Amino acid sequence: MGVVIFACSMVCRYNPLVLMKPMTERQPQTFSQSKTNNIPADIPADIPANLLGSTINSNLLISNSESNLNSEAKLTATIYANNSNGTVDENAIGVNQLSHSKEVNLMKNLGVRFARVDASLEASVNSQPVYNCQTGTWSPVSLAHRVKLAQRAGAQVELIIDYSPKCLEPQINGNEPLSNYYPPDIGSNLSKWMSLISQVGNWAILHGVRYFEVWNEPDWTFFSGTVEQYSHLYKNTVTPLESDAKKLHAKIFVGGPAIADVLGQIDSTFLKAFLGYISSYKLPLNFLSWHTYADDPNAGTASFLPSGLCLTNHVVHIGVPCYWTPSMNTDVYSNEAQSVKSILKQYKAYHPQLWIDEWNLDAESDQRQNTSYASSFLLSAVAKATSAGVNVMEWYNTADYPPGQYQGFGLLNQSLKPKPSYLGFMIWHLMSGTKLRIAAVIKKSDIYQHPSLLASRNSQGILNILVNNYVSYDTSGNFGSSPTKFNLLNCNFRVEALVPNSQYRVEFRTIPLGQPNSFSISTQKVTTDSSGSFKFNIKEEEESSTLVSFSLIKTASSSSNYLSLYLAGTFVILIILTLIILRIKKGSKAGTASARAKLAKD
């Protein structure tokens, strides 16, 4: 996920206890091509500024952008409301690093199921290390607050066992290493490390933590060792954790290796070596984790680099940030899942869950992280990854931090207000339920337009349809700064198997183009035909997403119909009971008469 020159900024991204570089060293590039003042550089300049982030409705067209359209995809689909096809799993939603109490309710409303938290074993609080090298004791003072925040948000904590206390690292030429990434379990430090992990595990299990991940990105900057050394560290970490769990009669889940997607693909050599090692020792692996940032992380911008410099083989365009690459196809998430599953087939004893526990559209400063591009991107990515078998996806990060210094990774901005990415996860949360079968045909002229469609029915019987017009790349060469091409999605839908001749309330909940912090919502009433079907049309803008929800309206007439049916049914039941009683009485009288006749004869 980068080369040496990026080490400082990336260290800061992963470790909340290390201050990030000043804003002057991380400020993204700006553009001069924008034609209208105060419009973000990645928003088409022909859209009125007063509409950005406000009330653009998905079934309405903006007149002055329509005149410039030269690409329109057509989506025709039938949704079968009574035909299930799996589930839309809200348990897939997770985040990294809750750090403020104001984040708690926002994450709870989002239905966050997992929160990834660093153990930060190398940390100091008030200049006092949490691990005392002299006494060998560990203090949870740094960890307790963050664990509590995650649990208050309703999330299961995934505790990352990292990084190395200084006194447990091997000395380099007689000096302590500059980082905290050297193996802490070498030689005489092994017993100290296992004792430390036993303390951490005991405290964590007693405080409700059940998921433990060993280290962070050991195949990259955050581990100064080999795959063999990491595998040893995995064994020397899960062993005391399992021992603690057994003593406390608790079931825990351990996993790793949390490898980085450095080259845009899974490092199969590292993963196979790791799986081979743990297989030989019969070590547990309940979840297998990796990280994926869809844009090439080597191409992030930084002002200390020469203007226009890209660190990979991307074509350089003057005035264009080199992070705007065509590699944003969200198929990378499903492809990597398939690659991992293929590797796992060689290790028959292991059937771990698949976790992408760090991901975002870019691993560096990227203006698109603050726009509807991010929400459209993540909805496309989550749908593809979960369909490919990924169980958990933990977005990096909960919020942009530290406050006042940097904007980018978070679901929340510096003021802890929702960003478009937050709204995207809210749509996924609302979509949870039984996935429905769809028959669809898509015709498009732009290879970088990736429209997607998903339908589900929740436990309340509400039918939800997600329409997402994700466009990964601007083929005009302007890279989103002022595109000449605007990719519209024209959708024609037919919904079948609803209640015939009934009224439904239809809600359109849209994440509009721009930098919105709330949905654009409109509603209307519709009536199904005699077959229980309904047709409607949506024209979805580029990089916008809409959730269409159908809920049955229980009208007075329908209530009276239900009452009439109830009374009719009750009447039929009473008639049947009456006939049964009369039959019983008739049989009883006949039996009595027969008995009397027999007595008289005697």
> Which residue in this structure is represented by tokens 């430090």?
189
B/e letters for 93-124, b = 16+ CB within 10 Å, e = fewer, are bbbbbbbeeebbebbeebbbbbbbbbbbbbbe
Q: Is residue 390 predicted with pLDDT exceeding 60?
A: yes
Q: Is residue 450 predicted with pLDDT exceeding 60?
A: yes
Looking at the fold, whether 418 and 526 belong to one and the same domain comes out as: no
Look up the pTM and report it: 0.79
Looking at the fold, whether 344 and 210 belong to one and the same domain comes out as: yes
Residue with the bigger pLDDT between 172 and 331: it is 331
Looking at the fold, whether 214 and 164 belong to one and the same domain comes out as: yes
Residue with the bigger pLDDT between 450 and 508: it is 508
Domain boundaries, position 396: 4-28+90-424
Residue with the bigger pLDDT between 81 and 582: it is 81
Per-position DSSP letters for 23-55, written without gaps between them = GGGTPPP--S--SSTT--TTS-TTS-GGGTTS-
Q: The domain spanning residue 289 has which CATH number?
A: 3.20.20.80
Tokens of 503: 């009224």
Decide: helix, strand or coil at residue 489: strand
Task: Tell me if 58 sits within 8 A of 467, measured CB to CB.
Answer: yes
Bridge-based pairing of strands 128-129 and 124-125 is antiparallel
CA gap 283, 278 in Å, rounded: 5
Looking at the fold, whether 391 and 490 belong to one and the same domain comes out as: no
By CB neighbour count within 10 A (0-12 exposed, 13-18 middle, 19+ buried), where does 269 fall?
A: exposed
CA gap 399, 409 in Å, rounded: 7
Whether residue 257 has a cis bond before it, omega within 30° of 0: yes
Q: Is residue 20 predicted with pLDDT exceeding 50?
A: no
| C-alpha atoms less than 13 angstroms from C-alpha of 317 in its C-beta half-sphere | 14
DSSP state letter for 103: G
**Which pLDDT score is estimated for 26?**
21
Q: Is residue 330 predicted with pLDDT exceeding 60?
A: yes
Q: Name which of 123-132, 313-322, 560-569 the model is least confident about.
A: 313-322
Tokens of 129: 């290390």
Q: Name which of 5-14, 392-401, 501-510 the model is least confident about.
A: 5-14
Q: Is residue 602 part of a domain?
A: no
Helix (H) or strand (E) holding 436: strand 433-443
CA gap 409, 215 in Å, rounded: 21
CA 494 to chain CA centroid, Å, is 29
Looking at the fold, whether 410 and 384 belong to one and the same domain comes out as: yes
CA gap 396, 15 in Å, rounded: 12
Q: Report, as an integer, the average pLDDT of 111-116.
A: 97
Between helix 227-247 and helix 268-280 the angle, nearest 10°, is 50
Q: Is residue 565 predicted with pLDDT exceeding 80?
A: no
Task: Tell me if 374 sits within 8 A of 308, measured CB to CB.
Answer: no
Q: Is residue 128 predicted with pLDDT exceeding 80?
A: yes
Q: Is residue 601 part of a domain?
A: no
Instruction: Name 74's Cβ contacts closer than 8 Å, sequence gap at least 6.
Output: 442, 443, 444, 490, 492
> Which residue in this structure is represented by tokens 């080597």?
298
Q: Which of 424, 450, 480 is the last residue of a domain?
A: 424
Q: Name which of 210-214, 341-345, 488-492 the model is least confident about.
A: 488-492
Q: Is residue 592 part of a domain?
A: no
Q: Name which of 24-38, 91-105, 205-219, 222-236 the model is least confident about.
A: 24-38
Q: Name which of 408-422, 479-493, 544-558 the model is least confident about.
A: 479-493
Q: Report, as an integer, the average pLDDT of 383-392.
A: 96
Decide: helix, strand or coil at residue 212: strand
Decide: helix, strand or coil at residue 298: helix
> Which residue in this structure is represented by tokens 């025709």?
76
CA gap 41, 107 in Å, rounded: 29
Q: Is residue 277 predicted with pLDDT exceeding 60?
A: yes
Q: The domain spanning residue 508 has which CATH number?
A: 2.60.40.1180
Rg of the chain in Å (alpha carbons) = 30
Measured in residues, the chain has a length of: 602
Q: Is residue 40 predicted with pLDDT exceeding 90?
A: no
If you average pLDDT over each of 295-299, 332-336, 422-426, which comes out highest? 422-426
Query: Whole-angstrom distance between the N-terminal and C-terminal Cα of the chain?
Result: 108
Could you give the percent of the chain with pLDDT greater than 70? 74
Looking at the fold, whether 311 and 436 belong to one and the same domain comes out as: no
Looking at the fold, whether 334 and 414 belong to one and the same domain comes out as: yes
CA gap 431, 550 in Å, rounded: 12
Residue with the bigger pLDDT between 22 and 240: it is 240
Average predicted confidence (pLDDT) for the chain: 80
Q: Is residue 512 part of a domain?
A: yes
Q: How many domains does the chain have?
A: 3
Q: Is residue 8 part of a domain?
A: yes
Q: Name which of 74-78, 166-170, 505-509, 563-567 the model is least confident about.
A: 563-567
**Which pLDDT score is estimated for 594?**
63
Bridge-based pairing of strands 287-293 and 253-260 is parallel
Q: Is residue 589 part of a domain?
A: no
CA gap 512, 490 in Å, rounded: 16
340-348 contacts: CB < 8 A, separation 24 or more? 340/266, 340/271, 340/288, 340/290, 341/389, 343/266, 343/268, 343/271, 343/272, 343/275, 344/275, 344/288, 346/272, 346/275, 347/275, 347/276, 347/279
Task: Tell me if 524 sits within 8 A of 57, measured CB to CB.
Answer: no
